[in-house]
Every structure is written in C-alpha cells, then in structure tokens.
Chain A
Amino acid sequence: MSSTGPDVPSEDELREMSTEQAMLTGAATDGVYAVHRRDRFPVPGTKAEKRSERGVAALFTIAALAGVAFIVVFVAAPWTWKPPGNSQIFRFYTPLLGTLLGIMLVGLGAGAILWAKWLMPEEEFVQERHDEPQPGEGADQVMTGATLVAGYRDTGLPRRSLLVRTLVLAGGALATVPLVALIGGLIKAPGKTLFHTLWSPQPAKYPNGIPVVYSSGRRVSPNDLQAGGLATVFPGVPGGVKDASSPTLLIRLRPGQGKDVEARNGQANWGWGDFVAYSKICTHAGCPASLYEQQTTRLLCPCHQSQFEVLRDAKPVFGPATRSLPKLKLDVEVVDGVQYFVAPQDYQEPIGPGFWERG
C-alpha cells in the first residue's frame, strides 16, 4: 500500500457525501480501510434486534438497580462490629456491598460489551502500519541528523574542550549534590549498634545483672516454668519489652536433659539448672524462632524453616540458617526470698541475621 492516503476531497465534496461516506473517506485519509462493514440487523425492527436491545437494556437496568440497592445497604444496613453473642448480621455488610458494587459494575460492563457486539455494526478495518521504510524517510533522517550535528557544532563544544570539561564537572556536581544531600540526611552510622542488645550490663542500676521479665514486665522466677516449658523473656530495662534484638527464649529442659547440653568453650555454665536461654531472633533472616518441639528439643523458625537443636548449643541442623542462636548467660538473684532470673552479661556475639562487619 502506498504511504500517502488518497487525495482528500474538497470540503464541498465532503459536504455532499453522506455521513457514512465522509467517515469512510476520513478513515481512508488516515490509512484505515473497511474490509467488512455491515449492520448487525440489515432488516430493521426484527424480533432478534429488539431482543438484543432489550438484553443490553436489561443489563443497564440491573446495574442501576444494584446501584440503588448499594446506596440503601450502605446507609441503612447494620455494619458495626459486635462481639459474639450479639446479632452477627453486620457480617453481611461487606459481602453485600462488594456484591452489589460487583453487580452494578459488571452489569454496566457486560451491557457495554454486548451493546458493541450485538448492536453496533460488524466491522473489520485494516490500518496501514507505515512502519516499513517510507520514501522520504531517509531524507528525514539525514536532515534531522544534520540539524542535530550542526546545532552541536554551533554550541562550539567539539572545539572548546575547556568548556566541555568544566561543563562535565558542573554536571557532575549537579548530579552529586542532591544525592549527597539526601544520603547525608538519611545516613546513620551503624557503629557497634548491632553488636549489643539491651541485655548490656548496667551495674549501677542492676548490680546482679539485667532482670529477666515477661512481656508484661513481671519478673521471671525459676518456679514459673514447668519442665519442658519455654517462655519469651525480655530485658527488664526501659524499652526492653519492645526492643527488636533482645527477645530471648528461656527454656526449661526436662529433668536430666540439662546435663546433656553441649556448649561452646567457656559457655558450659551459662545455663542455670535445667534452664538455658538463647536469642529468639533467628540467625538467618531475623524472624522469631518460636516453635519449640519438646520431644526432639528442636526450635523451628516458621519463616524459612531453619531448625536449631537446643541440646547441641542451638546449632542449626536443617534449613538455611548457618549460625547457632547466641546463648545468654543466666543467673539468679533473690529478692524478698524469691528467686528471679537475671542476665549478668550481654550476648557475646551479634544476634540475628548476618552482616558484612560481623566477622
């Protein structure tokens, strides 16, 4: 097909044409030609035509009715949450709103599509792509290229290397300054933050070590836990319960198991009786490793299924974790005749996921 459309008829000629003819002429001007165009219902007013029209109209009516119903339900239906024991009819509010909105929109959409499919004329048009090399295209390329190159020469940049160099410097500054300003504002030196937790000793305030507490703040006593039980405990310092790196698992092994616990050099006496404490934060990706199987003495992290063997120094025995859960040294202080756990020292290695400076 040729690259240019047929000659455009004059305005007067176009005015002589029917609307349909003028439309097709316009399409042809744009390189769009009808290969097939026919009224859906060449015989007007047939039963089939009326049926189609009624079908589309019915869908639009359904949409309108669903819209009205939506407004009624939205305004009038009970919707506030009630505890069990009260009427639970509010539970239908959201499903009803969604369904009515759905019916309204699908009704409208299906109506529009069927309108186009059933009632609008059948048509198949062909449009020229004009993307194969056109006559004149090469000329355009040469002229545009020449314009760009000439403009570049006019700037003098090819000859004036000083200008180029200083401009590159200025551009570099322009690109770097916002980056420096942004990053400079955002940057926070990690320092040794990741090497400490809130279990760090504060001898002035807590001479025997940081108190071990539950999330409620209540202190943990050895008598709280049954054999085989475990508790999530926190440093009893301000903010300790909410701190992300301090959660610790206190495990009371079953009688006799305490003797079997493997420990790294120098950590053998870090437990207390049958009690051992390990960081709860998984050394793989930082999820709390909180599923403890009494029988196998394995801790499982539910995020990526790393498994740690508690009796073997909480070593990873399966899954993607590479490092043992750090062990917290336990001790006991007596207050008013009751024993309470304390942590005399912080974890001796960074808890949680690995990082570059960890070593």
Chain B
Amino acid sequence: MTSTSEAPSRRASRPRTPAGKTGMWLDERFKAAGATRKYLNKVFPDHWSFMMGEIALYSFIILILTGTYLSFFFDASMGDIRYNGSYVPLQGVEMSRAYASTLNISFDVRGGLVIRQIHHWAALLFVAAMLIHMLRIFFTGAFRKPRELNWLIGLSLLVLGVLEGFVGYSLPDDLLSGTGFRIADAIILSIPVIGTWTAFMVFGGPFPGTLIIGRLYIVHVLLIPGILVALIAVHLAIMIRQKHTDFPGPGKSETTVVGHRFYPKFSAQATGFFFIVFGLLCALGGLAQINPIWLFGPYNPAQVSSGSQPDWYMGLLDGSTRLFPSWEIRLWGHTVPALFWPTVVLPTILIGLAAAYPFIEARLTKDRARHNLLQRPRDVPVRTALGAMACTFLAVLFISGGNDLIAKAFDISLNAMTWGGRIATLVLPPLAYVIVYRLCLGLQRHDREVLEHGVETGIIKRLPTGEFIEVHQPLGPVDEHGHGMLTYAAAAVPKRMNRLGRGRLAHVRGFFYPVKEKPEIAERLAALEDSEHAELESPEREAELTD
C-alpha cells in the first residue's frame, strides 16, 4: 500500500523530526507503513452493548497481571505445615502449604490481600462479562453468517473461563473450595464406565491424595490460560478481519462500518475504559471482602460449613444438582448415580445447544445471507423468546443453587424451595417463551403505530365537534389521510418528542442531554455544518473535507 516514488526525490525529502526519523527507520526495515495505517484507520462503531466483550478482555488482562503477582508467593503443595504466620486464630493449626501460603499472601505480604481480592473479583467479572457479551450476541443475531465460527470460539472461551475460575478458587485448599472439589470428585466418579478410572487419574488415587493442588496449579496458570490467550487472539483477529457488526440506523448499511477510527479516538476511549474497569476492580478488591479463606479454615474432609456457596458461575450447576430427583440407575451390577444427569449430561446439552444454535437457526430460516447489521430482539420474536426461555431456565437453577440461603432468609421450608425449583424449571421457561413472544409482537406493533400516526405530543385539542383528540407529530411525510409514509427500517423509532432528530447521536453533544451552544458559537457551527454538507455532496469528498 505504500506509495511509490522516485529515489532522488525521496532522498531529498528525508524527515527531519525525531518522530519522522524513527518512523522512516522502522519502515525501511519492516515496510509496514501501509498495513499500520490501515489498522490506525480502522473504524469502530459506538454502542454501549459493544463494551461487554471489552470488559471481558480487560478483566482477562487484569487476571494475568494480578495472577502473575500471586504466583510469586503461592506454594501449590499439599505438604503439611504448622501455621505460624501473623493470623493468630490459626497459629499452630496443621494445614497444607497451599493454604498456608494463601494465608501468607493475605496477612504477611504487604498489599497481598488487595491483589488477591482484585484477582478474585476480576475472575467473577470475567465470566459475567463473557456471559452478558454472549447474550448480546445472541439476542441481536450477531452470530449469523459470517460469524458462526467466532460464536463457537466465544462459547469455548466461556466454558474454559468457568473451568479456569473453578480450578483457581480451588487452589487455596480451604474448607469451602475443598468441599467443592470433593463434589467435583463425585461428579467424575458418576460418569459411567470410565468415571472411577478418570477420578483416580485426576487425583492420582482416591480423593484427595497429595497431588491434586499441584496439578490444578499448572492447569490454572499455564494450560487453560495458554488456550485462553490463543483463542482470544483468534477471536479478536476474526473480529478485526470481519469487522464489527452494528445496529441499523440512519447512515448504517450492510456494506460499511460507521464510527470512530482506532487512532486516536477509539484507542483513547478503550484505554480509558480499561483503566476504569481496572480501577473499579481495585476498589472492589479493597472494599468488598471476597473469599475470606481464613474464616473457612483449612480443608478437612470431615467438615463442612452450612450455607456453602460456590462462586456465582457454578451456582446453576449447584442448583441443578439440588433439584434433580434421586433417580439412580442400577442395572447388571453397575450404577449410574443421580449426580451424573444434572452435572455432566445437562451442561453437555446446554453447551451443545448453544454451539448448534447458529446452524439450527440458519437451517430453519433458510437464511444463507451475510449479515453485518444487527437485529433488534423484538424483530425476531422466536429467537428472543427462545433466549428468554433459556435465561429463565438458567435463572431458576441459579436461584436454586442458593435455595438454602433463601429458605433461611425468608423463613420458607427448604423442601418447599426444592419442590418450587423443580416445578419452576419445567413451568417457567415455556411461560417465559409465551410472554416474551407476545411482548416482541406488541413492541413491533407499537413501532409501526408510531410510524403511521406519529409521536404523542401530549397536546390535547378540542375539535369543533366537541371531540378531544391528542395531536401526534408525524415522523416524516404523510399521505392524504395523514398517515406517515415511513416504513419500518429495523431501527429504533423515536417515541418521545425529545428523541426526535437524535437518530445520529454522534452529532449531538452532551452525555445525558443535548448541550445548547452559545448563540455565536452555534452560528459558527451551523455555518461549518452547511459548508461541510456542500462538500460532502461533491463527488470527490475524501480529500476536500477540511480547509
């Protein structure tokens, strides 16, 4: 892409500024001026919902930074040690070195606790941001051709992220996570045919053995993060290659992206956003206690504390395990425990459905076109209602994961909570489907009504006949009956008077309300705007935009 030129003139005009010289020095070696400019000029669209993936990416970076710090102090060993650190209540207690070194990070490393807590909060946010990002992709149809593979990569990232989080919070070898890992052992044991052998492979013998923390550690700091880094790189590379999707609206089209260029504006904002995410996680890590392992005590297979709760992303598996009935299959001298269905089969089905969804939808709708413009959820009622159904199902499981705490807080019978959850998993999702489907249709109709009749102005007029009517502001030209002639363009329809004319927010100043310019500046701006329009309409608009 570099411009060709004659050698002599090139020589005559060597750059004189230090920056120019550096640039020339680099380009003479790498010939990257054209490619670099292409990326600097890459256009990113602007919508709040596109920032969920960013939050996930930034949390991951924060996880690597804080995790590296923690690895300097953590000792992933199950060897016994008698604690004699600063935390007096546990002094003299026998514990594993993993637990003792986590106590040391919390009490005997200056500032260690805040980093540990930032790391834990970042992990919670990482998974949450990925999930919300995925919901955004799902409900707006961003997974459609050509982005099906990136949907699959994203789904793998989510699953690996959950696994990484679970392995990570099991490392301190405290009572809470140890109990969680005992359940993990039971889950592996429950797999037909290979379960027992797999569990013995994982733990190097019967639970808990002396190896598992060391194995989990290398999985947590090398194996899964390595895969995550690789998949994130591919995920972003595909996103850059295919370019960002965008919502339909004025100026938007299937063949273009509208927004800010990467440099300088998007990069400044994205960097700023990274620091804000980092800063809020630091504040959380300082102010909100998370996983206070010194209160749980070291792991002991004979103990458990009531109200044990895993990290939030394990909640729905916990819930499914609590709700699933006690159906154990015993046939021909073999056992398939009840645990197998809610913890192995159910997640496999859920992940499988999510992975297959883009292909199922494309097949059923016979839609083979490329899509760069997103859909509003209301315009695809079936998909939106299916999504709502899935969310409701998962929400019931998630709530059931804490049904003992809810039962205690609201003084409800625990057994009633369990039965309520069992019934709700079956009844609520179809109900959610019906309700959301109707909601979508209602919203669609309302959009069309506003397009036809205009926005309610709140002005009541009395006609000569005595009839009262509300004056409606048409959104565009009207036909002889006074009906709007605009058709629905799959974009948001303004429904209040003060939303009119805000189709392109980029032109309007102010965070929450449009800023009113001072008269002399407004005049000047209007003049600029006019001249700009005149130029934009000229065929050679590229180079002449500014004077």
What's the minimum C-beta distance from B27 to chain A, rounded to whole angstroms? 13
Over the window 509-534 of chain B, the binary record of Cβ atoms lying under 8 Å from chain A Cβ atoms (1 yes, 0 no) is 00000000010110011001100100
A125-B259 in contact (CB<8A):
yes
Are A98 and B301 neighbours in the complex by a CB distance under 8 Å?
no
Q: How far is the CA of A27 from the CA of B282 in the complex (A)?
A: 39
**B206 CB contacts on chain A under 8 angstroms:** 190, 193-194, 244-245
User: A8 on the interface (CB 8 Å rule)?
Assistant: yes
Q: A50-80 vs B: 1/0 string, CB under 8 Å?
A: 0000000000000000000000001000011
Q: How far is the CA of A29 from the CA of B187 in the complex (A)?
A: 58
B543 touching A24, Cβ below 8 Å:
yes
Q: How far is the CA of A345 from the CA of B322 in the complex (A)?
A: 33
A127-B43, A353-B339 known; A193 vs B205 contact (CB < 8 Å): yes
- Contact, CB under 8 Å: B536 / A81: no
A169 interfacial contact with B, CB 8 Å = no
A111 to chain B, nearest CB (A): 7
Is A318 an interface residue when CB atoms closer than 8 A count as contact?
A: yes
Known contacts A132-B370, A302-B307; decide if A127 and B42 are in contact (CB<8 Å): yes
Q: How far is the CB of A133 from chain B (nearest CB, A)?
A: 10
Q: For window 87-109 of chain A, which residues contact chain B by CB distance below 8 Å?
A: 94-99, 101-109
Q: Are B542 and A24 in contact (CB under 8 A)?
A: yes
Residues of B within 8 A of A48 (CB): 518, 521
Partner of B261, one of A27, A81, A109, A193: A27
User: Smallest Cβ distance from B422 to chain A, in angstroms?
Assistant: 11
Confirm or deny: B279 has a beta carbon within 8 angstroms of a beta carbon on chain A: yes
Please pick, from B204, B283, B335, B338, the residue contacting A101 in the complex, using a CB distance under 8 A.
B283
B374 to chain A, nearest CB (A): 14
Which chain B residue lies CB-closest to A41? B521
A11 at interface, CB cutoff 8 A: yes
Asked whether A129 lies within 8 Å of B5 as measured between CB atoms, the reply is no
Given known A33-B542, A105-B276, contact A129–B283 (CB-CB < 8 A): no
Cβ–Cβ contact A131 & B372, under 8 A: yes
Residues of B within 8 A of A95 (CB): 286-287
Q: Which of A11-42 contact B (CB under 8 A)?
A: 11-12, 14-15, 17-18, 20-21, 24-30, 32-38, 42
Q: Is B324 an interface residue (CB 8 A)?
A: yes
Task: Specify the chain A residue showing the minimal Cβ separation from B517.
Answer: A48
B268 and A94 contacting across the interface, CB-CB below 8 Å: no
B271 to chain A, nearest CB (A): 5
Contact yes or no, B37 A26, CB < 8 A:
yes
Inter-subunit contact B542/A28 (CB<8 Å): yes
B521 touches A46 (CB 8 A): yes
Shortest distance between the CB of B208 and any CB in chain A (Å): 6
Number of residues on chain A facing chain B (CB within 8 A): 115
Q: Mark B293-306, 1 if CB is under 8 A from A, else 0.
A: 00000001111111
In the assembled complex, the Cα of A288 lies from the Cα of B176 at a distance in Å of 12
A119's nearest neighbour on chain B, judged by CB, is B268
B207 part of interface (Cβ distance < 8 Å): yes
Can you name the residue of chain B whose Cβ is closest to the Cβ of A115? B268
B273, B285, B323, B542: which contacts A98 (Cβ < 8 A)?
Answer: B285
Give the residues in chain B near A280, CB-CB below 8 Å. Answer: 302
Q: Which residues of B contact A355 (CB under 8 A)?
A: 189-190, 195-196, 199, 335, 337
CB–CB B87/A290 < 8 A: no
Tell me which of B179, B274, B521 contacts A109 (CB under 8 A): B274
Does B326 lie at the interface of the complex (its beta carbon under 8 Å from any beta carbon of A)?
yes
**B interface footprint on A260-286 (CB within 8 Å = 1, 0 otherwise):** 000000000000000000001100111
Q: In the complex, A32 Cα to B259 Cα: how many Å?
A: 10
Please tell me if the beta carbons of A20 and B525 are within 8 angstroms of each other in the complex: no
Is the CB–CB distance between A112 and B257 below 8 Å?
no
Q: Give min CB distance, A122 to chain B, whole Å.
A: 7
> A247 on the interface (CB 8 Å rule)?
yes
Residues of A within 8 A of B321 (CB): 285, 304, 320
Stretch of B110-118, B131-139, B163-171, B464-472 at the chain-chain interface:
B110-118
Q: What residues on B are CB-neighbors of A32 within 8 Å?
A: 41-43, 261
A112 touches B286 (CB 8 A): no
Does A139 interact with chain B (Cβ within 8 Å)? no
B477 adjacent to chain A (CB < 8 Å): no
Whether A359 contacts B107 by the Cβ 8 Å rule is no
Instruction: Tell me how far the C-beta of A211 lies from the nearest C-beta in chain B, rounded to whole angstroms.
Output: 17
User: Bound state CA distance, A316 and B327, in angstroms?
Assistant: 12
List of A residues within 8 angstroms of B335 by Cβ: 354-359
Of all chain A residues, the one with the shortest Cβ separation from B546 is: A20
Chain B residue at minimal CB-CB distance from A104: B279
Say whether A123 contacts B279, CB under 8 Å.
no
Closest to B339 in A: A285
CA–CA, A215 to B194, complex, Å?
34
A30 near B38: Cβ-Cβ < 8 Å: yes
**Contact digits for B361-381, partner A, Cβ 8 Å, 1 yes 0 no:** 000000000101000000000
Select from chain B the residue with minimum beta-carbon distance to A79: B110
Who on chain A is nearest to B80 by CB?
Answer: A242
Q: Given the known A-B contacts A24-B546, A27-B41, A124-B258, are A188 and B272 also in contact in the complex, defined by CB atoms under 8 Å?
A: no
Please indicate the chain B residues that have their CB under 8 angstroms from the CB of A30 in the complex. 1, 37-38, 41
The verdict on B334 contacting chain A, using a C-beta distance below 8 Å, is yes
- B387-425 vs A, Cβ < 8 Å mask (1 yes, 0 no): 000000000000000011000000000110010000000
Closest chain B CB from A338 CB (angstroms) = 25
A42 touches B207 (CB 8 A): no
Contacting residues, chain A, for B114 (C-beta < 8 A): 94, 97-98, 101
Of the residues A96, A115, A131, A285, contact of B286 by C-beta under 8 Å? A96
Task: Tell me which residues across on chain B come within 8 A of A234, comparing CB atoms.
Answer: 302
Q: Which residues of A contact B265 (CB under 8 A)?
A: 116, 120, 123
The answer to the question of A321 belonging to the interface, with a C-beta cut-off of 8 Å to chain B, is yes
Shortest CB-to-CB span from B480 to chain A, Å, is: 35
Q: Report the bound CA distance from A140 to B523 in whole Å.
A: 53
Q: Check B19 for interface membership: any CB of A closer than 8 A.
A: no
Residue among A8, A30, A104, A357 with the highest chain B CB neighbour number at 10 A: A30
Contact pick for B506, options A36, A186, A321, CB 8 Å: A36
Residues A35 and B536 in contact, CB atoms below 8 Å apart = yes
Instruction: State whether A290 touches B303 (Cβ < 8 A).
Output: yes
- Distance from A255 Cβ to chain B, minimum over Cβ atoms (Å): 28
A319 within 8 A of B: yes
How far apart sit A48 and B302, CA to CA, in the bound complex (Å)? 68
Interface residues of B in 182-237 (CB under 8 A from A): 182-183, 185-187, 189-197, 199-202, 204-208
Q: How far is the CA of A132 from the CA of B370 in the complex (A)?
A: 8
CB-based contact B304/A288 at 8 Å: yes
Chain A residues with CB below 8 A from B536, complex form: 35
- Determine the residue in chain A with the shortest Cβ distance to B333: A359
Q: Does A168 contact B (CB under 8 A)?
A: no
Known contacts A106-B275, A127-B43; A74/B268 CB under 8 A: no
Q: Which are the 10 A-B pairs with shortest beta-carbon distances?
A: A98-B286, A109-B275, A105-B279, A102-B283, A112-B272, A354-B337, A106-B279, A353-B186, A28-B542, A247-B302
- Apart from A29-B1, A43-B521, A290-B303, what are 19 other A-B pairs with CB-CB below 8 Å? A25-B542, A35-B536, A97-B286, A106-B280, A124-B258, A127-B243, A129-B255, A131-B243, A186-B204, A194-B196, A244-B301, A285-B183, A286-B182, A303-B179, A320-B321, A320-B342, A322-B326, A323-B328, A356-B193
- List residues of chain A with CB under 8 Å of any chain B CB: 1, 6, 8-12, 14-15, 17-18, 20-21, 24-30, 32-38, 42-43, 46, 48, 74, 79-81, 83, 94-99, 101-117, 120, 122-129, 131-132, 183, 186-190, 193-194, 215, 232, 234, 242-245, 247, 280-281, 284-288, 290-291, 302-306, 316, 318-323, 352-359
